[in-house]
Amino acid sequence: MLRLDLAPEFRLLKIETNSAGKKRQVDACGSRRDRVKPASERSAGAPDRAASRGALGIRSSPRTVRSYSDSAAIIERMFSLAMNDTAADLLGVLGGLAAGEPPGGLAPSLREHAAQGLSRRGELLTWASSVGNTAGTPSFFNDLTAWECSDSSLHLEDFVPVDVTTVDGAPVISDDGQRMLLMQGVAFALEFSRLVYVLDPPSPVRCIVGANETNATFRFHQIRSGESWNMPDLDKYGLDKMVVADITPAVT
């Protein structure tokens, strides 16, 4: 399993992988105080850091700092990505974060869906357009987390044009199609995080993106103690490429 910890500006803080019993950790960050100087203030020949960022604002070659803990101490909010090995291999993120960026950026239909915003309904967090019945929740669901995941779930292939063939009456999506849907799902989670960071009162939220040869989904839920929709070890999902994003707003 691979984990990426990002600052709110989506700059890389830490990469952790645990595959085949081997753990690899890379610490890298530019602090929030390390702002990008305008061209008028940069010395001749100095690189433009903003130009080194991809469509998601992630630096492909982050600057190494002395200590991850020192850098993390000044971060007020966090965006963490975890994915199983099959998702990491399909996206090719170990070769550089830019490899996981969708060509052309986030699909317009997904950006439009995110623009509706979020709504609080009692203890529940939903899309603003949700018509889910919150009366008596969690009802037949195990908990509020399961209710939110069911209500917020959407199929990425309904928003992103990919080739879906039919074999023996079942849909089939190629590896290239799954890769595109995963990339769009991660980009959508980054766009979605902007909605979470302005929640009042603040609440940590988890996004779950999954893709297999038949479909790809995105769903979210508030992070609650003792509740989880996904298995902690994402590598236990043998047929699905899984990406989990934890969005933690600042708490004042």
150-206 confidence digits (pLDDT tens): 999 999 999 999 998 888 888 899 999 999 999 999 999 989 998 998 898 889 999
- Integer Cα distance of 25 and 17 in angstroms: 7
Per the structure, how many domains does the chain have?
1
The answer to whether position 16 is within a domain reads no
Q: End-to-end CA distance of the chain: give it in Å, rounded.
A: 32
Residue 1 lies in a domain: no
Q: Is residue 58 part of a domain?
A: no
Query: Which structure tokens are listed for 59?
Result: 């630096």
**pLDDT tens-place string over residues 61-89:** 333 323 333 333 334 567 787 887 788 88
Is residue 25 a part of any domain in this protein? no
Any domain includes 100: yes
pLDDT tens for 16-26 read 544 433 333 33
Pairing of strands 118-121, 124-127: antiparallel
Q: Is residue 165 situated within a structural domain?
A: yes
Give the side-chain half-sphere CA count within 13 A for 107: 19
In Å, how far from its chain's centre is CA 155? 16
Q: Is the peptide bond before 8 cis (omega within 30 degrees of 0)?
A: no
CA distances from 201 to 27, 119, 125, 176, 251 (A): 31, 12, 12, 40, 9
Residue 189 C-alpha from the chain's centroid: 4
Task: Answer yes or no: is 159 within a domain.
Answer: yes
